[in-house]
Structure 1
C-alpha cells in the first residue's frame, strides 16, 4: 500500500470513528457492556496507541534503527497484517497490555478533549506518513506490544485497522 492510500485509510477510519462517537449519546460515554471498557475508555485507548507512534516518528530515524534494528523481511500487505492481528488477539485471549491496564474511566467532561486529541493525532500521523521516505517506511522498525517488531509502513497500516477494529466493536456492542 503506497503512502497516499495509507493516509486516505487513516483519514477514513478516524473520520468514521469520530463521527460515530460524536453522535453517540453522552450517557454511554461512561458505560459499556458488562465487564467491557466504556465508550470513553475505547476512545482513550485509541489515543494512547497513536500518540507513541507519532512520538516515535518524530525521532531521528537513525536513533530508531539503533534502538530497534532494521527490517529483515519484506513488508506485508494490509490484509496480511489484519489477519496476523486477529490471530494474535485470539492467542492473547483478552489480555490487556500494559498501557491500557487499569485504565481510568474518562468523564463526560473529558469527551471533547479526547475526541479533539484523537483527530489531532490522526492528522499528525497522516502528515508524518506523507513526509517519511519510502525507504524508512520499509526498513525502520518499531515494537508493537502484541505483534512484535514491525516496519513503520506496517505499524501505520495496523493503526488504521486498529481504529476500524474498535469502531466496529463500538457499533456492534454499544
Structure 2
C-alpha cells in the first residue's frame, strides 16, 4: 500500500471513530459491557497506542537500525496484516497492551480532551507518513507488542486496522 493511501486510510478510520464517539450519548462514555472496557477506555487505549508511534517516528532514522535492526523479510500487504493480527488475537485472548493494563476509566470531563488528542495525533501521524521515505518505510522495523518486529509501513497499516477494529467493537457492543 502506498504511503499516501495509508495516510488517507488512517484519516478515514480516525474520522469514523471520532464522529461516532462525538454523537454517542455522554453517559455511555463511562459504561461498557460487563467485564469489558468502557467507551472512554477504548478511546484512551487508541490514544495510548498512537502517541508512542508518533514519538518514535520523530526520532532520527539511525536510531531504528541501532535499536531494532533492519527488515529481514518480505513486506506483508494490508489483508495479510489484518489476518495475522486476528489470528494472533485469537491465540492471545487475554493479552492487554502494557500501557493499557489497569487503565482507569476516563471521566466524562476528559472526553473532549481525549477526542481532540486522538485527532491531533492522527493528523501528526498522517503528516509523518507522507514525509518518510519509501525506503525507510520498508527497511526500518519497529517492535509491535503482540506481533513482533514489523516494517514501519506494516505498523502503519496495522494502526489503521486497529482503529477500525475498536470502532467496530464500539458500534456493535456499546
Pick the TM interval, shorter chain.
Answer: over 0.9
Q: CA deviation at 1:94?
A: 2.6
Q: Any unmatched runs of 5+ in structure 1?
A: none
1:53 aligned partner: 53
Instruction: Tell me how far apart the structure 2 counterparts of residues 154 and 55 of structure 1 sit (CA, whole Å).
Output: 17
Deviations 1:121-143 (A, max 9, x none): 00000000000000000011000
Q: How does 1:97-116 map to 2 (within 5 A)?
A: 97-116=97-116
Structure 1 residue matching 2:65: 3-state secondary structure: helix
Q: Check if 1:164 corresponds to 2:170.
A: no
1:69 aligns with 2:96: no
1:137 corresponds to: 137
Runs of 4+ in structure 1 deviating by more than 2 angstroms, as ranges, are none
Distance 1:39 1:94 in 2: 19
> 1:16 matched to which residue of 2?
16
Q: CA deviation at 1:97?
A: 2.4
Which whole-Å deviations, capped at 9, do the CAs of 1:30-53 have from their partners, x for residues lacking one? 010000000000000000000010
TM-score (norm: length of structure 1): 0.99
Partner of 1:38: 38
Note if 1:86 corresponds to 2:77. no
RMSD of aligned residue pairs (Cα, Å): 0.5
CA deviations 1:18-77 (Å, max 9, x no partner) are 000000000000010000000000000000000010011000011111000010011100
How many equivalent residue pairs? Answer: 174
Q: C-alpha distance in 2, partners of 1:65/1:108? A: 41
